[in-house]
Chains A and B, each alone.
Chain A
């Protein structure tokens, strides 16, 4: 089975621009979660989608948004980029078979490293 894929792997943007990141989960997985990872901060939860619905959302401003398509692929959008948005953005998928995708094992993609100049 192919793993979680994320595109692009690296991205350089300037302040004020917007960016869209893409995540393709493992085939059959219906839950997709997005995280921001910065040195010393650990993983910060952005949001989780299950069957095209946002089920959970972390404490990030409205500039961060996402969506999930019927094939479970997900996109994350960040508008009006700030320097502090520079980070590794990780996507994780899980099967969702437990009824609570958060306690299913999460399989992470390689991440998109975003640099905002």
Chain B
């Protein structure tokens, strides 16, 4: 079966750095997305990785290792507004999006 694993919940301190991991087992791979979802709101796009390596976008970076079936989202200089759920999704060989259950990130002052 197809599976996306993410930690259910993480806690970090304002101003710190946090890494949210995502591991996947899917039938084929055509890219990996990270989305941010604030409570009661729609998910919003953060990043898309299809090649191995690190992509940096401001305070957020996303890393992919296809051979390990692994990705992480790195958030630097955490702000209170970063408190949200972070969703990992993989595009499989049939071009279907397989979603993880999401990681709820709690930022403390």
How far is B97's CA from A58's CA once the two chains are assembled, in angstroms? 10
Chain B interface residue bracket vs A: 20 to 34
Given contact pairs A42-B87, A56-B94, A105-B48, A111 touches B42 in the complex (Cβ within 8 A): yes
Q: A residues within 8 Å of B by Cβ?
A: 4, 33, 35, 40-45, 56, 58, 90, 100, 102-103, 105-111
Q: What is the interface of chain B, defined by CB distance below 8 A to chain A?
A: 4, 8, 30-31, 33, 41-45, 48, 50, 87, 89, 91, 94-102
* A58 surroundings in chain B (CB, below 8 A): 96
Tell me if B99 and A42 are in contact (CB < 8 A). Answer: yes
Which chain B positions have C-beta within 8 A of A45? 96-99
Query: In angstroms, how far is the closest chain A Cβ from the Cβ of B108?
Result: 22
Which B residue's beta carbon lies closest to that of A38? B101
Pairwise interchain contact A42-B48, C-beta atoms closer than 8 A: no
By beta carbon, the residue of chain B nearest A105 is B45
